[in-house]
Amino acid sequence: MIAGQATRRAIASAADRVLLIRPDGHRVTGTELQARTEALALALRQQGLAGQRIGLWSQNSAAAIEAHLATEWIGATRVPVDPGAPPAEAAAVFAAAGVAGVVTDAAHAGTAPAGALVHDDDAPLSAPGSLPDQEVDPDTTHLLYPRMATQGQFLAVPMSYANWAACMAINAELYRTGGYGPGFGADECFLTTQQVMHGTGMLGTFPFLHLGLPQVVLPRFDAVAVLEAAIRYRATATFFVPGMVTRLADAVAEAGLDGPGPLRRILYGGAPMPAADLRRAIEILGPPLVQVYGRFEGGWPLAILGPADHAELAAGRSRHAGSCGRAIPQTELRIRPVPGQQDGWGELCVRNGMVVSAWADPDGWCGLGDLARLDDDGYLYLGARLDGMINTGSYHVYPGEVEAAVAALPGVQAVLVRGEEDPDWGQAVTAYVVPAPGAPEDLADRIRGDLRARLAAYKIPKRVIAVPSLEAVHNR
């Protein structure tokens, strides 16, 4: 297959139509995006990075999207790191992944690994020439999504070029056929506000480019800025995690508006949303809400709770409260029995073109590690994780990584990390610490402070609880 062929064609076909809108209102046409991305791709080829693993570390911007696209267009593997990660964590991921080079923006250039290439909106990296088509095996890794890098362990999800193409095609089809709400038309405009390395890239940012449709790119989420941008640029669709939904609802209510302006499909997912918050969000934001459920190893999305379901929830008539929706037509779901679980509950397994082969069995079924059940109407309900992974505000945190970081700090004799229920985050990363003899009284504050240089903010424990031993904690 030709790397990035569908998106290259869509961007080229857009020609003088606007595809990207920056926060300052600057508009980038299809012709301009194609030229900048190809020039960057040629520069990466000159560095010998075609077909290699390339680290990406940038805040949301047009240039960040160009870096993702250019990496694809030269048949390389993207290894993105959240822009909020501290330099030590970014370096650990890039080292564990064995990247051959790193592309970053000006904001991260000073702390990026030595030799990193800078590509920014105002300082693009480029080389002259004509970019040739790049042949890739469909099984070549397109996106290596990092989950954990600590003490020599590296856990990442290797999405292939075939997986990525399936994800783009499925999402485009869901938009066109009303899977994300009715009335998808030529006036659609996406609003990218979550960082593109996460779910928004798979559900909106890149599918909209695949469709040749425009989007507004904000550097980060801010509820007031999102509302202002949606109104100013007539954005019709976006993707949030649950906490963003509640903050947008607050912003709409404080502004005294009757709904979220032109936004007519607000996709959200990544973590459970408290029932009270969801009811309030539906009352304020109304029909645009669409819940999605997915996993990088199994596909985004896998299930959808659509606008009609939200209307039923708002009216108090829904028989499916607490569900994350029904399976999309393009996937199969089944529940694999797990010993010790109550009837109907088991591990959720999926099979579709988005499933990462390294995580699947010989028949193509991928076990997602989520306890789940299906009701008689085909609605999916999720329970706990089988592997202890913590889902906090849609971010996935592995306890072992946090435990290793805490255990390395002075004043810590032993530590246990787990997720505990939290109304704001779904689960809060919680550390139970046995202080070493002579540990300072403010050990908890010191732990959180020291971890800021080691871990991304979402991995730092929300609660640090001193205990005399871990035995009682294990027995709870």
> What pLDDT digit, counting tens, does each position of 452-469 carry?
888 888 899 998 988 888
pLDDT for 476 equals 65
Q: Please, which pLDDT band fits residue 407 given cuts at 50, 70 and 90?
A: confident
Q: Is the pLDDT of residue 475 over 70?
A: no
Q: Is the pLDDT of residue 30 over 90?
A: yes
pLDDT digits (tens, 9 = 90+) for 45-62: 999 999 999 999 999 999
Of the candidates 473, 460, 476, 397, the one whose C-alpha atom is nearest the C-alpha of residue 432 is 473
Tokens of 405: 């970081």
Q: Please, which pLDDT band fits residue 426 given cuts at 50, 70 and 90?
A: confident
Angle, vertex CA 43, rays to CA 38 and CA 44, nearest 5: 95
Give the integer Cα–Cα distance in Å for 366 and 322: 24
As to burial, measured by CB atoms within 10 angstroms (0-12 exposed, 13-18 middle, 19+ buried), residue 445 is exposed
Backbone angles phi, psi at 283, to 5 degrees: -60, -40
Q: Please, which pLDDT band fits residue 174 given cuts at 50, 70 and 90?
A: very high
Q: Is the pLDDT of residue 448 over 80?
A: yes
Query: Where is mean pLDDT largest: 193-197, 268-272, 282-286?
Result: 193-197
Q: Please, which pLDDT band fits residue 418 given cuts at 50, 70 and 90?
A: confident
Q: What is the b/e burial string over 29-65, where b = at least 16 CB atoms within 10 angstroms of the residue's CB? A: bbebbbebbbbbbbbbbebebbbbbbbbbbbbbbbbb
Superfamily for the 221-385 domain: ANL, N-terminal domain (3.40.50.12780)
Predicted structure pTM score: 0.89
pLDDT for 151 equals 66
Query: What share of the chain in percent tops pLDDT 70?
Result: 98
Of the candidates 86, 124, 116, 89, the one whose C-alpha atom is nearest the C-alpha of residue 100 is 116
Q: Please, which pLDDT band fits residue 38 given cuts at 50, 70 and 90?
A: very high
Stronger pLDDT, 465 or 169, i.e. the higher one: 169
Q: Please, which pLDDT band fits residue 346 given cuts at 50, 70 and 90?
A: very high
pLDDT for 226 equals 96
Of how many residues is the chain composed?
476
> Beta strand pairing status for 332-337 and 141-150?
unpaired
Residues 6+ apart with CB under 8 A from 439: 411, 412, 413
According to the CATH classification, is domain 5-14+28-160 in 3.40.50.300? Answer: no
Same fold, 5-14+28-160 and 392-474: no
Superfamily for the 392-474 domain: ANL, C-terminal domain (3.30.300.30)
Query: Where is mean pLDDT largest: 67-76, 259-268, 289-298, 366-375?
Result: 67-76
Average pLDDT (351-379) is 94
Q: Please, which pLDDT band fits residue 69 given cuts at 50, 70 and 90?
A: very high
First-to-last CA distance in the chain? 53
Q: Which of 45-54, 106-115, 187-196, 389-398 is predicted least confidently? A: 389-398
Q: Domains of the chain: which residue ranges? A: 5-14+28-160, 221-385, 392-474
Give the integer Cα–Cα distance in Å for 230 and 147: 32
Q: Is the pLDDT of residue 255 over 80?
A: yes
Average pLDDT (92-101) is 95
Q: Is the pLDDT of residue 405 over 90?
A: no
Average pLDDT (78-85) is 95
Q: Which amino acid is at 324?
A: C
Tokens of 338: 């797990």
